[in-house]
Amino acid sequence: MNKTPRSSRIHIAIFGRRNAGKSSLINAITGQDTSLVSPVKGTTTDPVYKSMELLPVGPVVFIDTAGIDDEGSLGELRKKKTMEILNRSEAALIVFDSTEKDTSLEIELVKMIDQKNIPFMCILNKCDLEKKIQWSGLNGIPLVETSAVEKTGIKTLKEKLVKILPKDNEKFRIVGNLVNPGDFVVLVVPIDKAAPKGRLILPQQQTIRDILESDAIAVVTKEYELKETLENLGRKPGLVITDSQAFLKVSADTPKDIPMTSFSILFARSKGDLSELVKGAASIDKLKDGDKILIAEACTHHRQSDDIGTVKIPRWIRQHTGKKLVFEFSSGMSFPGDIEKYSLVVHCGSCMINRQELLYRIQNAKSSGVPIVNYGVLIAFIHGILDRALKPFPYTSIVWDEIKREEYDYANHGKSTKHY
């Protein structure tokens, strides 16, 4: 169960003031004593992630956080940090310390979370001790009473938590809504030097799993055996999915009436807003000399000599545009605040962050007026395969056709006919 990647789990953040018992509660909920608990205020400093299987929901990850009262009030920095965690959370737990009189911080937090439309639940902890809490302003807020030390109320807490979480089938699927039960889905997986030894990469494994969950049939082949595979299947497959590198050969070998796309496009769709990312790709052709481009990676991985983010993507964009561009790089869980200065944001494939966080980043770029594309859509665009790869997604395909039509009109008549 711990093999489920963290980014595929439902993220549940826990907030409250220092010493409210946040870490103790996470230990009690998960049944593991791995979060550091102590009577010293401020024990937890950076967010701590703890995975578990919460039945019947499935894999979840709890995010233990630092107390919200670090600076005496919900100061700007603390608000920013809390927001960063909220942006990657699908639900929140707010812990009240029943031995504290003042609840103003917690109520401020409830308002912040409610405004973001994130489902939340309040917990009144330390109920084994004498209550000093004053209830003003707390009317109507659903509350579960617990003692993390005596482990009371934990079962009720879990039962209520399950009810507020998004259902698994509401989460975005990879191929789920593209294929029908019984369909063949052909996956084209090149086994070249870049492929890891002895295994398939995570997006390929996750796609196969999703095909099986859809009661469809996964057929895996290399690009050289594709033609033979298609000829011998006996009926048309519902979908062909290929690695972007082999797209041109696979496209030539796959009859036009068979829907075909790439892993990178499927993941861009399941992780983010495909139409917005496609608009971002189109803006590559509008880049000018001196424009700044931000390449944002969510993780801090070991960089190889031909690293995708720092080497390949800048090279592809320079070759494609022929412009003198300035590339800047960011990595890690926080997105730079001053993105207005960029003409384009190129985001990584987001295997380390969840859909919620990527959607937030896309929204952030959009509201700053900066186009955003991700690696998957950019690769498809640079390889000239977007037309066919988007056909299985009618809405995005229309958006893409409109962009091309506008560019055609602009090039031929010097005016734009459509604003998007």
Ligand X SMILES: Nc1nc2c(ncn2[C@@H]2O[C@H](COP(=O)(O)OP(=O)(O)OP(=O)(O)O)[C@@H](O)[C@H]2O)c(=O)[nH]1
Q: How far apart are CA 385 and CA 402, in angstroms?
A: 17
Residue tagged 């005496």 (tokens): 72
Q: How far apart are CA 184 and CA 180, in angstroms?
A: 9
Residues with Cβ within 8 Å of 408's Cβ and at least 6 positions away in sequence, in order, are: none
* Tokens of residue 127, six digits: 């109920």
Helix axes 76-86, 104-115, angle to 10 degrees: 40
Q: Return the number of the residue (21 or 238) whose C-beta is nearest ligand X.
A: 21
Does 89 bind Mg ion (CB under 5 A)? Our answer is no
Pick one of 128, 159, 306, 307: the residue that binds ligand X (CB under 6 A): 128
Query: For ligand X, which stretch binds (CB under 6 A), given 5-13, 34-42, 47-55, 243-251?
Result: 34-42
Does 39 bind ligand X (CB under 6 A)? Our answer is yes
Does 87 bind ligand X (CB under 6 A)? Our answer is no
In a 13 Å sphere around the CA of 95, the CA atoms on its Cβ side amount to: 31
Pick one of 9, 11, 88, 126: the residue that binds ligand X (CB under 6 A): 126
Does 131 bind ligand X (CB under 6 A)? Our answer is no
Q: Return the number of the residue (47 or 58) whose C-beta is nearest ligand X.
A: 47
* Tokens of residue 264, six digits: 């990178």
Residues with Cβ within 8 Å of 179's Cβ and at least 6 positions away in sequence, in order, are: 185, 211, 214, 216, 238, 239
Does 43 bind ligand X (CB under 6 A)? Our answer is yes
**360 strand-pairing partners:** none
Minimum distance of ligand X from residue 151's CB (angstroms): 9
Q: How far apart are CA 355 and CA 148, in angstroms?
A: 31
Does 21 bind ligand X (CB under 6 A)? Our answer is yes
In a 13 Å sphere around the CA of 297, the CA atoms on its Cβ side amount to: 13
Instruction: Determine the residue with CB nearest ligand X.
Output: 21
Q: How far apart are CA 374 and CA 358, in angstroms?
A: 10
Does 82 bind ligand X (CB under 6 A)? Our answer is no
Eight-class DSSP state of 187: E
Pick one of 7, 9, 12, 19: the residue that binds ligand X (CB under 6 A): 19
Contact of residue 269 among Mg ion, ligand X, none (CB under 5-8 Å per partner type): none
Q: In the range 15-44, which residues lie near Mg ion by CB under 5 A?
A: 22-23, 43-44
Q: How many residues bind ligand X (CB under 6 A)?
A: 24
Contact of residue 129 among ligand X, Mg ion, none (CB under 5-8 Å per partner type): ligand X
Does 195 bind ligand X (CB under 6 A)? Our answer is no
Secondary structure (3-state) at 247: helix
Q: Return the number of the residue (79 or 249) whose C-beta is nearest ligand X.
A: 79
Does 20 bind ligand X (CB under 6 A)? Our answer is yes
Q: Return the number of the residue (150 or 228) whose C-beta is nearest ligand X.
A: 150
Q: How far apart are CA 85 and CA 395, in angstroms?
A: 32
Minimum distance of Mg ion from residue 206's CB (angstroms): 33
Does 37 bind ligand X (CB under 6 A)? Our answer is yes
Minimum distance of ligand X from residue 40's CB (angstroms): 7
Contact of residue 128 among Mg ion, ligand X, none (CB under 5-8 Å per partner type): ligand X
DSSP 185-238: EEEE---STTSPTTS--HHHHHHHHHHHHTT-EEEEE-GGGHHHHHHHSSS--S
Does 24 bind ligand X (CB under 6 A)? Our answer is yes
Q: Return the number of the residue (44 or 254) whose C-beta is nearest ligand X.
A: 44
In a 13 Å sphere around the CA of 339, the CA atoms on its Cβ side amount to: 25
Sign (positive/negative) of CA torsion 389, 393, 399, 401? positive
Binding footprint of ligand X on the chain (CB under 6 A): 16, 18-24, 37-39, 41-44, 66-67, 125-126, 128-129, 147-149
